[in-house]
Structure 1
Amino acid sequence: MYSHDTFGLGHIRRCLAIARSLRKCPANILIVTGSLLVGRFKIPRRIDFVRIPGMIKVTNEQYLPLSMKLEAAEVLEIRKKIILASAMAFRPDFFIVDKAPLGLKREVVETLHWLMSDLPSCRSILGLRDIMDSAPVTIQEWEEKGIYDAMDQLYHEIWVYGCQDFYDPIKEYRIPPQVASKIHFTGYIPRQIPSQEEIQAMRRGLGIGDKEKLVLVTTGGGGDGLPVVNTFLSAFHPAEGGILNRARVVVVTGPFISPKDYAEVVKKCQSLGFIPLKFHRFMEALIGAAQVVVSMGGYNTVCEIASQRKPFLILPRT
């Protein structure tokens, strides 16, 4: 599996959810990822990862090295070689590319060509969310970058993680018939359901009693979630009554919040008696422990909440 991971946690969390399902086959799964935090997640047996040097998204077209003091082109070349070397050594039966058909700045194209020529038994699969962006924006981007041709020429199958009756990307994004014939709608990706023992252990670890009500606030990776957190926190005052004075509140900002902003969130949470966290490796258990979840509308977080049938309030980016 390949996940470029240049912003947030969504790509790697989706890959891990898919990997957990595929390991039931059984299968050995190797994830090639640029995620800085991949090693901090709870990863089961038969799933492992190769971490390529991180890149961070500045604009839709500009990416910079996350840590290395090298030119972007140099880091991209390193990433490209590691991706290809991983495929050549692992020799997969399936090669699943998350979201970006060409990879970051076309970094996965050489690997896809090698698989076609040197390992023809491997099936290359493109995995897509059902809703990528607005239709005009997506169509323009796919035409300009040659995405329709790439889907036609480089992939055996395209998995759409959604339901065609809910949103039909074939129609909305004007996908040509020869590409549409490769598309399989998988439904929305179910997430790991924590056991009662895991939920109780989560509560004990946070100092929350089994009978106490818990409200969870989460903004995914946290790169753009501060307004949601601040709006939630500003709605309450320690001296006021209300349901949150009779419940415990955990606020997970996401690891990509700036240190300055996180310090402010911690200060506000402490004044309200809330529990601030920057990251948690087992969000499924944290969601399972909550009675209500307040969140942004990211694909992965919504799938995690819906999988556990939790009441939720969603505040989307737009």
Structure 2
Amino acid sequence: MTTPTSLASQPGPPRRPRIALYGHDTQGLGHLRRNLVLAGAFASDLPEGLGADVLLLTGASEVGMFPRPHGVDAVVLPGVRKDERGRYSPRHLRGRLADVVAFRSAMIDTALEGFDPDLVVVDKTPWGFRRELATTLARLKARGTRTVLGLRDVLDDVPTTRRQWQADDSDQAIRTLYDEVWVYGDPEVHDLRVTTGMAEDVAGRTHHVGYLAADRMDDEERAHRPATEGRDYVLVMVGGGQDGAQLARAAAAMTPPPGLDLIILTGPQLAENEVRRVRRVAGNRPRVQVMRFSRHGAAWLTGARAAITMGGANTVAEILDTDVPALVVPRVTPRAEQLVRAEALARWGYLSFLRPQAATTAALDAWVREAVTTRSDRTALDRGGVAAATKRARSLLESRADPVGAPQSPAPPARFARSPHVA
């Protein structure tokens, strides 16, 4: 059996930087969407980009539904799903989960060995799903590949976050496998260094880069609008849709304010029978549209008079890049992440939120009638995570020629105590 030849050894034009982005993608589309935003910035040939070739490693087969910038490609891993009780199982294959994880791990190892990345950015899980990255990442790190762990702004409520951080041996994973940790949020709203209880040396290499909000879209993408014959509209989005049926049905029964359309995006993962139920509730009213998916959902949000959404990190980041009034109805199980995020941002007045049981049609109607008369100022937030992450990536790539060894971490923050703003 012959050994595959690395891309680095092939003749051709000068080698661009190579960046691999991993997301385990067990529920929803959050990991994929976050990595697509970063991939676009890293691949850009504009002065603020890196001009890199980027390889996505994802468990979300929906990757083909989203725009993929030039210079970005994807390896789709066998899917894994998480149920409402937090239990994992194969998404499509019918074998044992352990066998699927072993298959995924082998695919990852082969892909990264052939791609030979200069930088690897891992989303959320420091060892990979069920430790599927551990061996490969250690080998890449040993030969000089720069490595980053990227974390969303909120992982869960504080007690659960700390228990999980310890159970996953996350501090040791970061010391062993990573040069830096990036947190995609504003520490004034939620300081993840505190809520995880991470060790001070790990906190010292952890950087809150800001929400991945600004620079998510170019001007051409922002210009897209839904087909409403020029009328303004209220937008309802339930993320991937895997657990968005209740909110979608409640929204479908709403009465749009005079002169406005109502557009509901159910998400590609909402079960077909639930989509049919939502459409039956909406009926044939001409100003109510129920759609499965739009690749321009973020642009549609920018142009909405008001928005009702679930509370995933990417959807909230898209909201924070606008002045559109937003009502977030967060998922509350199996993780409290969306609820913690919504409560924290609501305390600062950046959005409104309702718990799922309170998000009745009457409550949604009442909120929309008020919201469409207002706008929301979110300019005080740190929303520059895309540019900041790109800058940090450039610095890591430029330092790759340094001797391999333990990364030199900056001194820990002088103030390392519970922030009054931590949710």
Q: Which runs of 5+ in 2 are unaligned?
A: 1-20, 44-48, 333-423
1:116 is matched with which residue: 124, 130, 141? Answer: 141
Counterpart residue number, 1:222: 241
Deviation at 1:182, TM superposition (A): 1.0
2:296 is matched with which residue: 275, 279, 282? Answer: 282
CA distance in 1, matches of 2:258, 2:23: 41
- Mapping 1:75-224, distance limit 5 Å: 75-117=100-142, 119=143, 121-190=144-213, 191-193=215-217, 195=219, 198=221, 202-203=225-226, 206=227, 208-210=228-230, 212-224=231-243
CA distance in 2, matches of 1:140, 1:275: 43
Segment drifting more, 1-10 vs 227-236: 227-236
**Is 2:52 the counterpart of 1:27?**
yes
Counterpart residue number, 1:309: 323
Deviation at 1:104, TM superposition (A): 0.9
Instruction: Name the SS for the 1:244 alignment partner.
Output: coil
Deviation at 1:61, TM superposition (A): 6.0
Counterpart residue number, 1:297: 311
Counterpart residue number, 1:44: 69
TM-score, normalised on structure 2?
0.69
Q: Cα RMSD (Å) of the superposition?
A: 1.8
Instruction: Name the SS for the 2:61 alignment partner.
Output: coil
CA distance in 1, matches of 2:197, 2:225: 46
Counterpart residue number, 1:256: 269
Instruction: Name the SS for the 2:193 alignment partner.
Output: helix
CA distance in 2, matches of 1:94, 1:201: 33
- Please say if residues 194 and 285 of structure 1, whose CA atoms lie closer than 8 Å, have aligned partners that are also in contact: no
Deviation at 1:192, TM superposition (A): 2.5
CA distance in 2, matches of 1:302, 1:201: 20
CA distance in 2, matches of 1:172, 1:201: 39
CA distance in 2, matches of 1:169, 1:81: 32
Q: Which runs of 5+ in 1 are unaligned?
A: 237-242
- Please say if residues 295 and 315 of structure 1, whose CA atoms lie closer than 8 Å, have aligned partners that are also in contact: yes
- Please say if residues 194 and 284 of structure 1, whose CA atoms lie closer than 8 Å, have aligned partners that are also in contact: no
Q: How many residues are paired up?
A: 305
Instruction: Name the SS for the 1:294 alignment partner.
Output: strand
Counterpart residue number, 1:72: 97
CA distance in 1, matches of 2:86, 2:251: 33
Task: Render the CA deviation track for 1:140-177: whole Å, top value 9, x for unaligned.
Answer: 11212212211221111000111222211212221101
CA distance in 2, matches of 1:99, 1:146: 13
- Please say if residues 123 and 149 of structure 2, whose CA atoms lie closer than 8 Å, have aligned partners that are also in contact: yes
- Please say if residues 218 and 251 of structure 1, whose CA atoms lie closer than 8 Å, have aligned partners that are also in contact: yes
CA distance in 1, matches of 2:188, 2:153: 11
CA distance in 1, matches of 2:52, 2:178: 21
Instruction: Name the SS for the 1:272 alignment partner.
Output: coil
Query: Do the aligned partners of residues 300 and 201 (structure 1) sit closer, same or farther apart at CA in structure 2, a change above 3 Å counting?
Result: closer
Deviation at 1:231, TM superposition (A): 2.3
CA distance in 2, matches of 1:269, 1:199: 28
Deviation at 1:200, TM superposition (A): 5.6
Counterpart residue number, 1:240: none
CA distance in 1, matches of 2:302, 2:167: 43
